[in-house]
Structure 1
């Protein structure tokens, strides 16, 4: 069996890794460098966590995700995961943090609650007066995306996998099982796996009926000097509470302090508006107050734009069309499942169980 994978973000790299472990011949194509800073998984770091609110299926699958990452760490010879735990900050009844805590309760998972005053005492960068309560769980942390991508790239090359960076695919012929490169070269295989993220719609326009592309951004902040050590020891903040769907990744293992917000997104093609807008970083920073205190003292070190595909209900997407399999484990929360997604796709291809893998990825049970 020969497989062509289009797109070397975390899903494509992990699928190539899992197939290679099974002895399958793989060609991996990426339009930019690996890691690609424009891809959804090309940034410094991402969150892994147990809490998922009403999406209990994903909450129950996190154990499998951790196990797959462990298998990958064994192969790479390095563990690119920092176990920080995660924090939920509830500001109003029924906000995102409140809902995620309810999901932990429903699933029977352990956590610790503490008061608003105790939250400020534990984490001096918080304004306790803006909070109802805090919730902490040790089952979460920071995945180091660039180190993972670089490690997988090198692991694949060391096993003579055909890894082609800076190789743009112009079209996919799902019926024939072939791809045409921008330079006119045509490659054929038994199956094509499209893990091109937001660029998949350009290759297979019919996907637009079920997938929508959004442009968003995150900001890297420089905290006040006296709060730097507190941030370096902080957990991931999975939800800052209130209406903005804010999240924070602390500066660990040489990374920056990253902030983002679910409300900061808009419709957009993946190659459009990728240069940050004037003042965009300050806008993202200011969405963090509350619950941050002293927000005006934080500098903006960098702003990184991202392009994501979303399904209408934010569940993952898998579709077979001809000899092609299109995978979009995204909707803004896919990275944490990257290793296990690769394993599931490889299993589906080799054992002809792709529909079972689709049900796993959609996580509706």
Structure 2
């Protein structure tokens, strides 16, 4: 828990994972918080609303990313205690690597103090590894129960005296110099700091420039003879014949989710997502699927999600876009798992401003 130098008012635009966890951390630090969303809170239309998301703790050759994600994982564990709700499935994450890279990946992990081990494809018979590859298991990684996270955070915020949760409040304008948020009904809300975490729509409110992406995800029910195996299976990436697919295992009420970088595309707007036919993208995914015997699985749902990345780096983005305004466009699964880091950074900004 962070102690605030002095109580400030924080307005958060967006009821997704970044907005909700930032509201939690600010309230814990002693600040007043107002959370606004154009829909319900949590909002099923938010880019972070999903059954599950992967959280990794090891990033080969990137000690800084490994350190940050290890800290994020530790905070997720603490949030489970705070919310008195199980938020994680600690099943690990396997990534397929060419065999000639395995020694280098293991050495990188040892240097960073990350717990990994090599897994042969035969030990994971229902996952489709590329030819000439083996798996590296990130032991401390796993799956976040994303929908459960959002509901747990919203419940906690609704019961906190310093938090004002205001669903169905569409934000139409933001005065970055004054820290004032204008609403569609003509009202306005002032703040010492505004965080705009409204998913891909963040760029329409405050920027900065981002690239919008659309990704097709397929949710499956495994065949009955594989159900028990999947209950303890790790999440996995780098799969399929092309090494671009991933699978998030079912469990705790979630379905098996598969997708691939091959079905991710840049788009100009999120507005036509519902009208776009998903069949061609599902067919492309089926050409190099992450699971064996895909035709034995039952399709439960097909969705198209959106996320945004930094136009320059292609990664996640947290930016100060005005004296009193910060911006966090959505960034897919990595944006979900790293949300505690964004929340902590905003609390630090408040402390630095009051010092």
Place the TM-score, normalised by the shorter chain, in its bin.
0.7 to 0.9
- Is the partner of 1:53 in helix, strand or coil? coil
TM-fit CA distance, 1:71: 2.6
Partner of 2:3: none
TM-score, L = length of structure 1? 0.85
Paired residues of 2:52 and 2:254 also in contact (CA < 8 A)? yes
Give matches, 1:235-274, under 5 Å: 235-240=234-239, 243-268=242-267, 269-274=269-274
TM-fit CA distance, 1:86: 1.3
Relative distance call for 1:232 and 1:92 in structure 2 (3 A) is same
Alpha-carbon RMSD: 2.6
Relative distance call for 1:36 and 1:305 in structure 2 (3 A) is farther
TM-fit CA distance, 1:201: 0.8
Residue-pair matches, total = 344
Cα deviation code 1:299-321 (max 9, x no counterpart): 22111221111013234322221
Partner of 1:363: none
Paired residues of 1:195 and 1:326 also in contact (CA < 8 A)? yes
Paired residues of 2:96 and 2:243 also in contact (CA < 8 A)? no
Question: How far, CA to CA, are the matches of 1:66 and 1:128 in structure 2?
Answer: 27
TM-fit CA distance, 1:276: 5.8
Cα deviation code 1:325-362 (max 9, x no counterpart): 112462651211222321221121233399xxxxxxxx
Partner of 2:160: 159
Give matches, 1:120-269, under 5 Å: 120=122, 122-127=123-128, 130-160=131-161, 161-205=163-207, 207-208=208-209, 211-240=210-239, 243-268=242-267, 269=269
Paired residues of 2:143 and 2:235 also in contact (CA < 8 A)? yes
Relative distance call for 1:182 and 1:129 in structure 2 (3 A) is closer
TM-fit CA distance, 1:129: 8.1
Give matches, 1:307-346, under 5 Å: 307-311=306-310, 312-320=312-320, 321-328=322-329, 330=331, 332-346=333-347
Partner of 1:109: 114
Question: How far, CA to CA, are the matches of 1:331 and 1:76 in structure 2?
Answer: 23
In structure 1, the gaps of 5 or more residues are: 355-365
Cα deviation code 1:208-262 (max 9, x no counterpart): 2xx2111212110122222222122201113316645221110011100001212
Question: How far, CA to CA, are the matches of 1:273 and 1:98 in structure 2?
Answer: 43
In structure 2, the gaps of 5 or more residues are: 1-7
